[in-house]
Structure 1
């Protein structure tokens, strides 16, 4: 199981942070679970300044993350999406572009980007990670918690 050995992250003091959650529109059921997990993590952490933005697909997440991370006043960005392998190399291109793009945004801006993009071989694998009833993992919750913990860790360090 991928979640085995995951750390327990402290997010005390996250209530003052400003967070933008970006979510793709593909795969409604999976995205509903990821968004519910993200919202639950924000509530549990006391974050009240949270904005949700929807983009068409995973490929559009990096440009949206770049725009919101560079506007100022945003402490963390969370990117949620799902790509399920099909019969063409499209899966590889989209997954690589999203991963590289979101990493570049975090590095360039100094704003933590929580990576909640599921890259799965089957729809069942995505459902198992979406935080739905019966899921074994809650990647929406995990992505928010990771972004908040990183933002708190870096709070006293100036951005590039």
Structure 2
């Protein structure tokens, strides 16, 4: 059973500059969401990150809220928290797949996101995974986001060529007779 397996967990990164984290939570199962928030906040505290929390109606709205925040606010990372418990219809599959796909697409655009949306068969599975004293999936999602922030900061000052233009080559903007000034 997966709950009894041993997993390697990376040490939390350390930061010289402050980290601003946004937790976006769908509190459909409020007690489970509250446990996940507690775990995520505790992990953020360990590295001195500041945390804001917003609630959305359901797991499908989490990627939209994170996308909006990335354009309209100033956060270093995002933690997606929610719980989807299998029911009697295929709606479970839609919610699981589409919320995950939305977060993945945002991540591929460069956002630092920890996905803590639980997808479980029943409530007892969710309770164990959400409990900060047990599997602490909220804390794990926060840790994932923090690790991505550390990577983005590590690579922030590196430059690569853009498209087919090798790095350092001069370029001209359409309509200009001389290249742009490099003041």
TM-score, structure 2 as length reference: 0.79
TM-superposed CA distance for 1:7, in Å, is 2.1
Q: Is the 8 A contact 2:19 2:48 kept in 1?
A: no
Give 2:25's aligned residue.
23
Give 2:139's aligned residue.
141
Give 1:61's aligned residue.
62
Give 1:41's aligned residue.
43
Larger radius of gyration: 2
Q: Give RMSD over aligned pairs.
A: 1.9
Q: Is the 8 A contact 2:23 2:81 kept in 1?
A: yes
Give 2:150's aligned residue.
152
Higher helix share: 1
Give 2:124's aligned residue.
124
Q: State the structure with bigger RCO (CA 8 A, min sep 6), 1 or 2.
A: 1
Q: Which runs of 5+ in 2 are unaligned?
A: 158-183
TM-superposed CA distance for 1:73, in Å, is 2.8
Q: Which runs of 5+ in 1 are unaligned?
A: none
TM-superposed CA distance for 1:72, in Å, is 5.3
Q: Is the 8 A contact 1:78 1:147 kept in 2?
A: yes
TM-score, structure 1 as length reference: 0.89
CA distance in 1, matches of 2:72, 2:155: 18
TM-superposed CA distance for 1:74, in Å, is 1.6
Paired residue total? 155
Q: Is the 8 A contact 1:84 1:123 kept in 2?
A: yes
TM-superposed CA distance for 1:14, in Å, is 6.7
TM-superposed CA distance for 1:6, in Å, is 3.3
